Structures are given as structure tokens and as C-alpha cells.
């Protein structure tokens, strides 16, 4: 006898801590999956009700109680379809990262996550205790094994489910995006399928949460290792997969739509757009304001902001100084016009002169240096923050990862803001993203992409006066920051010893700046902030 099972993958955007709102979304999604899509089972992402990552909200007893109440409301509200919902469950043994199967007002089964990640952006061992038992439950006559996120990256949980009689595996995820993450996931699923022979339904969260972006791209891999379904990346939606279970007990996934993977530039750009949109929307900012310099970083930031929340909610401010070139003014105006944003020119010369006058006696006998350059940057920050205070808009800062890494930025100046769009984007990738965005519509002037980058805080200033070419700088930073390679290893890879030593020294000495930087979208394997956490005060001066 052939049994059929339609599973709906709820790849949805949830808000951390919004227990009521998330519960309502679960109920609405389940009803849609039942009534419109004809699904018998709907699977939600990891920690559905509280959102991911809830961080130290999990330490509040009241939050855990309210999570249990939200689960009870969902359980009572939905009938006629089975749900697998993630939540935090308090027990006498401790707090579990859990998933419950709900059916017609009853909690039929509950699974406790076995593998608790405690690396990179994850610190689940701070909050949860690990589970040990498999969870296999029958849905429409098919034995379904439940696992959660990190479980699928290890052999044990899937093997236990298989031994307990599972015919297919469900995996609830809150798997954050970084470049190449989609390929890594598919390789891991193929390993689990190869070990167990069981198909896997991989349901992933979508949306931005502070620095993290979850790309969705939920997957179904058949027991033969063939991909049967790939949902679109960075898109909120519910996507179905059909299974048939024959008399031999094997659950076979029927072919479905396999959305092609995105190219690197497109995936990073869409991650930035989603991260900015959700940061602004979830924190209820009415809009964004950006200091537009005529350079490539601010041009790309403006493009991302407009694509995220619409031109009508974005304001661009050009703040020229005595060192601003005419072409910077022209290009900034062209960018603002092309994107259709509100645009103002507010010169900083009067403020700069006032500061120099106030500090005249303090500076007597000392030659101009980076101090005067930084004053200009801080004049601009005061203007942007004043606009933010008056209008409620969030300031989007524009520093890229290369600059932030070596401290080529001004604390309380161009670093000021509520969110740094390009914080984890190396400068060389900034150029590629600009070209990608211009391929959609030409909004960044060609001259901005081709001219040598400059902070324009001193006469004739260029970034290359202070830094090696970005192609070299970014390669060194990738090895040192993201791969933890030593100076000796980087030099052995073909880079100049003195240059490597200088870059390493700059990275190490500017931790204090990064600790005070705005959050920004994580798109690499190792971002500053949640990923890379180094002491500010340290006697360790080697690599």
C-alpha cells in the first residue's frame, strides 16, 4: 500500500522575542499550509516561537514561561494539520532547545537537540543542555525523525533516528548565511543521506537579526542523494514537497522546483539588503540617513538602503570640506538623483573652523596631522546624528571590512551610526557589488568605481598613501582574520614581510575601535563582533 505525505516547509521571517507575533505567524502559516496547499505536516525553523538567536532572553524565567504559553496557544488554535514547532523547553534537567510535534490540540512528541554549537556566532552551551534520545513519530503513516540544525552536521542524531525506525528526517534550522554556505549545507546533507539512506527535509529560517542574516534556501534531498527541492534564497514563503512511501518502507521524495543557487555577488548583495531591511523594520525606524561622499562605499550603501526600504525613506547628505573635490560633489548628486532620494548639501567648513578656533591654544606649537582630519570626520558625525535625533532615522555608516580591520576610520566620526552596512564586506568585494548593482540599473557613476579611493581629509589624499593596494590588503586580512594564519604562513604565501607585519600590527592595535563600532551584516565566515572576539588590553603581541 502506497502512503502519501505532503510536507510544507515554513521558511519564514521571525522576530526574536516577539512571542505573540511569532505564535500568530505560526497559526496563520499552518492554516495556509492546510487550507491552500493541502499539506498534512508543516515544519517551522529552529526556536520558532522565540526567534533565533534569543541570547540572554533565555536566562529570564518569565520569558521561558511566556514561551510555554505561546506554545499552548498554538497547540489549541491549529487542527487538521500536524506542526513541528521549535521552542525553548524548561525541564528539571535544564533548558532544552526543543521541537514539538503538535496534532489537534495535543503535544504528540518532543525532541531535544543533541549537538549544541559553541563556535563562531553560536554559544548554545551557555543556555541549553543537550538531549540524547531520538524522536520518531508517525505522520500519515510515515515514520518521521526529528532533528535540529547542528544535529545534521554530525552522524549521531541521524543514525539514532534511523535505528529508531525513521523513514525520513526533518531538520529544523536557524543556519546563518555566509559566502559558500549553501554549498556546504548540501555537502553535509549528502553525507547524512549516504550514511542512513534516509531523505532529509531541511527547513531554514529567513531574515535578518542584528548582525546575522538567515538566507532560507530550504532543501529536500532524496534517499538516493539527489536534490529534489531547493527553495528561493532570501525569500519568505511556504514551499511543499510530496513523499510517497511504498510497501518496502522507503519514503521517496517527488521532484519539485529546484531554484538555482545565486552567484556570489548577487547572494551577498541580497544578504545586505535583507539585513538592512530587517534591522530598520524590526527596530521600527521610519527611515535611514547616509553621509554621501562621492566615494564607492557610500554609493553602495545608498543603493542597498534604497533597495531595502525604498527611496522615499532614505535621505542622503553631502557634507563637503575644503578638501572635497568637485567631482565628488558631482558624483554624489548624480547618485542621489539616480536613486531618487532626498538630498542635501551641508558644508562642514564653518563647524571645522569653529573647532580649530576653540582648540587653537591647545594646538599651539604643534603641526597639523591626523587630528585635524579626524575633526572633519567628527563634524560630519555630529550633523548626521543630529538629523537622526530630530527625524528618528537611523544613521547607516559606510565603513568596509578592510578599513575597520586596520583602523583606517575615525572613532566617533565616520564610524558613528546605528548600523554599518559594509562592516563585513572587504573593499575588493565592494567594487564587485557596485558592478553587480549597476548591472541591474546604472546608479553608481563609472568615475566613482574607477577613481582612486580617498577619504578627502587632506590635500591630494589617497588611500594608497596609508595602505597597500586593496588586493594585497584584503588577501592578507583574509588569511590573518578569517583563517587565523600566522605572519610566517602569510609571508610564505608570497607577501612582503614588512607589509604583513604592519597589517597584523594595525589589526591588533585597533580592537578598541572595533569594539565601539556599529553592528553590521555578517557575510563572511568570520566577522568582527560575534565571530572574532579578541581582548582590547593584551600583553600578547605576537601573531
Task: Give the residue-averaged pLDDT of 52-60.
Answer: 94
pLDDT number for residue 466: 79
Residue pair 295/327 in contact by the 8 Å Cβ criterion: no
Average model confidence (pLDDT) across the chain: 93
pLDDT number for residue 33: 97
Domain boundaries, the chain: 3-261, 265-515
Question: Confidence band (pLDDT; 50, 70, 90) for 538?
Answer: confident
Checking if the pLDDT of 541 tops 70, the result is no
Sequence-ordered alpha helix ranges (H) in 171-295? 181-196, 264-282
pLDDT number for residue 451: 87
Checking if the pLDDT of 467 tops 90, the result is no
46 is catalytic: yes
pLDDT number for residue 542: 60
pLDDT number for residue 171: 98
- Distances from the Cα of 261 to the Cα of 183, 206, 213, 441, angstroms: 9, 16, 17, 22
Of the candidates 314, 363, 300, 318, the one whose C-alpha atom is nearest the C-alpha of residue 342 is 314
User: Percentage of the chain with pLDDT > 70?
Assistant: 98
pLDDT number for residue 456: 63
Checking if the pLDDT of 332 tops 90, the result is yes
pLDDT number for residue 249: 75
**172-176, 519-523, 525-529: which has the minimum mean pLDDT?**
525-529
Q: Return d(Cα 415, Cα 297) in angstroms, integer.
A: 13
Each residue's pLDDT tens digit, 168-191: 999 999 999 999 899 999 999 999
Each residue's pLDDT tens digit, 248-281: 777 888 888 999 999 999 999 999 999 999 999 9
149 is catalytic: yes
Length of the chain, in residues: 543
pLDDT number for residue 543: 58
pLDDT number for residue 57: 94
Which of the four CATH numbers 3.20.20.480, 2.60.120.380, 3.40.50.620, 3.40.50.970 does domain 265-515 have?
Answer: 3.40.50.620
* CATH number for the domain running over 3-261: 3.60.110.10
Question: Confidence band (pLDDT; 50, 70, 90) for 459?
Answer: confident
Each residue's pLDDT tens digit, 381-422: 999 999 999 999 999 999 999 999 999 999 999 999 999 999
115 CB neighbour count, 10 Å cutoff: 19
Burial of residue 436, with CB atoms counted within 10 A of its CB: 0-12 exposed, 13-18 middle, 19 or more buried? middle
pLDDT number for residue 529: 80
Which of 50, 135, 149, 228 is an active site residue? 149
Sign of the four-CA dihedral 322, 326, 328, 330: positive
Checking if the pLDDT of 461 tops 80, the result is no
Each residue's pLDDT tens digit, 83-137: 999 999 999 999 999 999 999 999 999 999 999 999 888 899 999 999 999 999 9
pLDDT number for residue 1: 63
Question: Confidence band (pLDDT; 50, 70, 90) for 463?
Answer: confident
Of the candidates 306, 268, 275, 307, the one whose C-alpha atom is nearest the C-alpha of residue 433 is 268
3-state secondary structure of 431: helix
Checking if the pLDDT of 447 tops 70, the result is yes
pLDDT number for residue 98: 98
Question: Confidence band (pLDDT; 50, 70, 90) for 539?
Answer: confident
Question: Confidence band (pLDDT; 50, 70, 90) for 311?
Answer: very high
Which of 113, 401, 427, 513 is an active site residue? 113
| 535 or 108, greater pLDDT | 108
Sign of the four-CA dihedral 475, 478, 483, 486: positive
Residue pair 296/434 in contact by the 8 Å Cβ criterion: yes
93 is catalytic: no
Task: Give the residue-averaged pLDDT of 27-53.
Answer: 97
Task: Give the residue-averaged pLDDT of 200-215.
Answer: 96
Of the candidates 255, 196, 260, 257, the one whose C-alpha atom is nearest the C-alpha of residue 223 is 196
Torsion angle in degrees (nearest 10) through CA of 458, 463, 464, 466: 70
Checking if the pLDDT of 324 tops 80, the result is yes
Task: Give the residue-averaged pLDDT of 451-458.
Answer: 73
Each residue's pLDDT tens digit, 500-517: 999 999 999 999 999 999
Amino acid at each position: 500500500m502506497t502512503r502519501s505525505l505532503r510536507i510544507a516547509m515554513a521558511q519564514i521571517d521571525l522576530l526574536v522575542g516577539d512571542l505573540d507575533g511569532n505564535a500568530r505567524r505560526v497559526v496563520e502559516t499552518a492554516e495556509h499550509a492546510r487550507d491552500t496547499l493541502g499539506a498534512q505536516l508543516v515544519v517551522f525553523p529552529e526556536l520558532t516561537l522565540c526567534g533565533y538567536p534569543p541570547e540572554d532572553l533565555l536566562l529570564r524565567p518569565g520569558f521561558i514561561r511566556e514561551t510555554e504559553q505561546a506554545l499552548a496557544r498554538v497547540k489549541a488554535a491549529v487542527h487538521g494539520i500536524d506542526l513541528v514547532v521549535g521552542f525553548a523547553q524548561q525541564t528539571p534537567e535544564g533548558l532544552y532547545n526543543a521541537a514539538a510535534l503538535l496534532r489537534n490540540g495535543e503535544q504528540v512528541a518532543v525532541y531535544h537537540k543533541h549537538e549544541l554549537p559553541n563556535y563562531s556566532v553560536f554559544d548554545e552551551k551557555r543556555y541549553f543542555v543537550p538531549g540524547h534520545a531520538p524522536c520518531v513519530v508517525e505522520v500519515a503513516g510515515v515514520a518521521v525523525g526529528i532533528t535540529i540544525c547542528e544535529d545534521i552536521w554530525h552522524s549521531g542524531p541521524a543514525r539514532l533516528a534511523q535505528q529508531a525506525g525513521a523513514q525520513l528526517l526533518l531538520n529544523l534550522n536557524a543556519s546563518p548565511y555566509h559566502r559558500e554556505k549553501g554549498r556546504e549545507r548540501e555537502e553535509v546533507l549528502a553525507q547524512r543521506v549516504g550514511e542512513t539512506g534516509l531523505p532529509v527535509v531541511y527547513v531554514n529560517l529567513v531574515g535578518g537579526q542584528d548582525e546575522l542574516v538567515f538566507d532560507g534556501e530550504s532543501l529536500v534531498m532524496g534517499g538516493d542523494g539527489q536534490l529534489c527541492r531547493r527553495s528561493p534564497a532570501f525569500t519568505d514563503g511556504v514551499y511543499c514537497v510530496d513523499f510517497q512511501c511504498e510497501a518496502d518502507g522507503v519514503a521517496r521524495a517527488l521532484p519539485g522546483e529546484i531554484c538555482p543557487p545565486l552567484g556570489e555577488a548577487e547572494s551577498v548583495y541580497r544578504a545586505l539588503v535583507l539585513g538592512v531591511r530587517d534591522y530598520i523594520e524590526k527596530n521600527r525606524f521610519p527611515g535611514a540617513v547616509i553621509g554621501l561622499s562621492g566615494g564607492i562605499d557610500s554609493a553602495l550603501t545608498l543603493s542597498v538602503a534604497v533597495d531595502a526600504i525604498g527611496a522615499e525613506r532614505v535621505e542622503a547628505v553631502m557634507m563637503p570640506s575644503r578638501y572635497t573635490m568637485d567631482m565628488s560633489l558631482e558624483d554624489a548628486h548624480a547618485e542621489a538623483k539616480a536613486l531618487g532620494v532626498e538630498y542635501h548639501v551641508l558644508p562642514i567648513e564653518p563647524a571645522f573652523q569653529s573647532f580649530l578656533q576653540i582648540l587653537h591654544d591647545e594646538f599651539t606649537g604643534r603641526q597639523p596631522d591626523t587630528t585635524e582630519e579626524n575633526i572633519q570626520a567628527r563634524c560630519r558625525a555630529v550633523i548626521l546624528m543630529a538629523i537622526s535625533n530630530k527625524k528618528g532615522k537611523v544613521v547607516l555608516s559606510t565603513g568596509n571590512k578592510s578599513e575597520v580591520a586596520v583602523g583606517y576610520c575615525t572613532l566617533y566620526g565616520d564610524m558613528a551610526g546605528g548600523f554599518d552596512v559594509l562592516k563585513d564586506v572587504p573593499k575588493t568585494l565592494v567594487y564587485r557589488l557596485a558592478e553587480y548593482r549597476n548591472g541591474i540599473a546604472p546608479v553608481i557613476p563609472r568615475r566613482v568605481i574607477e577613481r582612486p579611493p580617498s577619504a578627502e581629509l587632506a590635500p591630494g589624499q589617497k588611500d594608497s598613501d596609508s595602505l597597500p593596494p586593496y588586493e594585497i590588503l584584503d588577501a592578507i586580512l583574509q588569511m590573518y582574520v578569517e583563517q587565523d594564519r600566522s605572519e610566517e604562513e602569510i609571508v610564505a604565501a608570497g607577501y612582503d614581510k614588512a607589509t604583513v607585519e604592519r597589517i597584523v600590527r594595525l589589526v591588533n592595535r585597533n580592537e578598541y575601535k572595533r569594539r565601539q563600532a556599529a553592528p553590521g551584516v555578517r557575510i563572511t565566515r568570520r566577522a568582527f563582533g560575534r565571530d572574532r572576539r579578541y581582548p582590547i588590553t593584551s600583553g600578547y603581541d605576537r601573531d
